Chains A and B, each alone.
Chain A
Amino acid sequence: MARTRREIRSLGDTWNPTTLWYAKAVAAMLPRPIAQKQSWRYLAAMHNFNQQLWAGLQYLAPGEALPPSSEQNKYWRQCQHQSWYFLPWHRAYLHTFEDIVLGVIQSLGGPADWALPYWNYSNTNDPNAINVPDAFLAQTLPDGSSNPLNVAARFGTSVDPDDVELTDRIADNDFIGTDPDQGPSIGVGGPRTRFSLGGQQEGLIEAKPHDLVHGDVGGQGGLMSDPRTAALDPIFWLHHANIDRLWEVWLARDAQNKNPTEPNWLNGPTVTRSFALFGPDGNDRPSNPRDVLSTSALGYVYDDISDPLGGASRRSMRLAALRPRLQRLQADAVTESRPMDGQPPKTELLGSNDTEIALGASPVRSRIRLAARPLSTLSRSFNRTLMDERTPGEPDRVFLHLEKIRGTQDSGVFDVYLHGPQDAPGTPGVKAGSIGLFGLTQASSAEGDHAGNGLNKTIEITKAIDAMRLDPAQAENLDVEIVPRSGVGSGADIKVGQITVHRMSGQ
């Protein structure tokens, strides 16, 4: 009988039995030696580990014995990011974690059907959903003892509603994204990679809500803001249980949504490293994607994988929003005889800025120059045929890429706004999206896996462009404003190498 992972607030009071047993297990696991596989810190180090950071945060005592390097190389620093392994590896990781916590709870006299709760911050029916659950903020447990769920290095108490909005996260049908040089990545799961502690392009769910929740909850210097410390915070596991649930939600919401069937995905990475996860007894167990496709086979199900979008497709939602424009076009009886200059490419560069920009504690603006020809192609795609739900296709989609983002801190969430050419100074602009810097330090290291190329962030700005109605006769420029929201220190040395805009044919 599969155990049921439930939303933490649906479990009842702050200290409902499920949450209280979790807190007791954390308290029991925290003091265990870091070299012990069933210890809190060993499990956190399997995500990622940095001796200096951990020591600075008091999670590692001077001279404390670590596992031998051969063991570290096998089990530690495995977290898969910017990768098509992001979802399955974290599922296997949570499975190991949950089994060990369950064992601890049972040894403390707790229930055998305990399951890890999840935090559904995207629940729009509950205005409280965006707040960090109370149990993670309380100073003490009901018995007056210190609450291990409330860690000192967590500086956010809520997430921004826009950061957990799912409309543009689970509405696409592809699991696999594309490599950075093959066009906009719109895969829910991430691009093809080998073993990937971090890459350049990420899947839709990983970018948001995953990255942004990490940044919102961690804040500047918080455990959750950096992959090397994130799993030390007990809230990490509830966050990732929700990410894992969203994978199930995506699969269930549309029959077109399928997991990859390529052997390279199913069998996991085999080059440089493979996944190494274990059961509650510490013995290795198969944990490649093919081994974790069914949650019930792993012993758990979610209480709710209903579709928050009510079954609506991305295209239908977009075309519904464009309906007034279509009606105006029909009422004005505008002819559509403007011929295209040959067949436009499927994807192409629409424009870019011309200089590197520095992000910090103050907002920065950068001007994107748009090229006339692709802008005209984009404009012409807003025609009667493509805006009509009864005919195939849709107007072109548009993507903003912030490329070669480098820096020395992982904290920080930035909001990205677009300003049209006619916008008066001081107007707020149209919010295009947000980016989180989770994993930036590692990505920026010239000696690291990214060869110093940093992170790439893609924001689909189709909705904003739909709202702005760029006129190719006047729109030679588009201003991008990047506004720091949280967790950005004044000394943060964060640079964005280039901002580009691409159009993708909707036909």
Chain B
Amino acid sequence: MRRAFAALREMTLGPSWSIAALSALAWSLVGLFDSALLMPGLCSSHWTAGTGSLAVAIWTNATAAQGLSWLVMLLAMMTPLIWLPLAHVWRHSLYARRGRAVALFVAGYFGVWLIAMAGLTLLVIALRIAAGSASAAFAVAACSAALWQLTPIKLASLRRCHAAEPLPAFGLAAEFASLRFGAAIGGACVVSCWLLMLLPLTSDVAHIALMAAVAAIMLVERYAWPPKPAFRPAL
């Protein structure tokens, strides 16, 4: 936890302050719009079992606004997690293409997360319908997330979040490598955190508090060294 605080402090006060600022801006947007931004259409609790209502739910939510809301949510929660890989990209890119390299990394990272969010949303809808109520869906998600924290896959993916891949400096290879590296870190991040992300998505209440709690867990995990889940009993 101390390491996560140190990372946040260094991010906020150091040359990478823009990362912390972007996250803060996204958090304030989340705060302003709360559930309307977070999960429009999903926050009503009248979904009932049946394929018809599932289709309606998907239709209602499959909008650009939904994608935007996911992006704001991801920017708030995930941006502080990618500080070190961003620094890796920055340092391994020629001065003239540093900005482009970072943009490609970010596109790769959040691109993977946005695809994952689409899948998670379907899962949330299915879970709500199957569980019959938001609180039951949340309980299932919480138990699943807790169990996931104990699996070797969780630990392995958390370690992969720390991978420092070689990045070519020149030509198209450099552009692809930036994008690929972002997607790889994003993929590891999704595998590590997908069940934790279900918590704010399944709950009808306290979205922001749950988002903040999950973000805090992810932050502690990411800056723990050696990499280890924040809440994992000694096995």
Q: Write the residues of chain A forming the contact surface with B, with a CB cutoff of 8 angstroms.
A: 180-183, 194, 200, 270-272, 344-345, 347-349, 351-352, 354, 356, 369, 371, 373-374, 403-404, 446-449, 451-453, 497-498, 500, 502
- Quote the shortest CB–CB distance from A117 to chain B (angstroms): 37
The answer for the CA separation of A451 and B185 in the assembled complex, in Å, is 13
Residue B121 interfacial (CB < 8 Å)? no
Instruction: Please pick, from A180, A271, A347, A498, the residue contacting B166 in the complex, using a CB distance under 8 A.
Output: A498
- Quote the shortest CB–CB distance from A461 to chain B (angstroms): 17
User: Which residues in B have their C-beta under 8 angstroms from that of A270?
Assistant: 2
| Known pairs A349-B94, A349-B95; A371 contacts B169 (CB<8 A) | yes
Instruction: Please pick, from A200, A271, A349, A449, the residue contacting B93 in the complex, using a CB distance under 8 A.
Output: A349
- Quote the shortest CB–CB distance from A475 to chain B (angstroms): 15
User: Which residues in A have their C-beta under 8 angstroms from that of B227?
Assistant: 451
User: Which residues in B have their C-beta under 8 angstroms from that of A181?
Assistant: 84, 87-88, 90-91
- Quote the shortest CB–CB distance from B93 to chain A (angstroms): 6
The answer for the CA separation of A404 and B162 in the assembled complex, in Å, is 12
Residue B159 interfacial (CB < 8 Å)? yes
| Known pairs A180-B164, A271-B3, A351-B169; A371 contacts B94 (CB<8 A) | yes
- Quote the shortest CB–CB distance from B25 to chain A (angstroms): 24
- Quote the shortest CB–CB distance from B221 to chain A (angstroms): 13
Interface contacts (Cβ under 8 Å), in number, total 79
- Quote the shortest CB–CB distance from B99 to chain A (angstroms): 12
User: What are 7 A-B pairs with beta-carbon distances under 8 A?
Assistant: A180-B164, A181-B87, A183-B91, A344-B95, A352-B92, A449-B225, A451-B227
- B173 in contact with A354 (CB, 8 Å): yes
- Quote the shortest CB–CB distance from A181 to chain B (angstroms): 4
> Which B residues between 1 and 56 are near A, CB-CB below 8 angstroms?
2-3
- Quote the shortest CB–CB distance from B87 to chain A (angstroms): 4
- B92 in contact with A448 (CB, 8 Å): no
- A356 in contact with B95 (CB, 8 Å): no
The answer for the CA separation of A447 and B3 in the assembled complex, in Å, is 20
As a 0/1 sequence over residues 159 to 185 of chain B, the CB contacts with chain A under 8 angstroms (1 = contact) are: 110111111111001000000000000
| Known pairs A449-B225, A451-B227; A371 contacts B170 (CB<8 A) | yes
User: Which residues in B have their C-beta under 8 angstroms from that of A200?
Assistant: 164
User: Which residues in B have their C-beta under 8 angstroms from that of A182?
Assistant: 87, 91
Across chains A and B, which 10 residue pairs bring their CB atoms closest together, nearest first?
A498-B166, A181-B87, A451-B162, A352-B169, A497-B166, A449-B226, A451-B159, A348-B95, A453-B164, A371-B94
User: Which residues in B have their C-beta under 8 angstroms from that of A180?
Assistant: 88, 164
The answer for the CA separation of A222 and B170 in the assembled complex, in Å, is 41
- Quote the shortest CB–CB distance from B168 to chain A (angstroms): 5
| Known pairs A183-B91, A451-B226; A352 contacts B159 (CB<8 A) | no
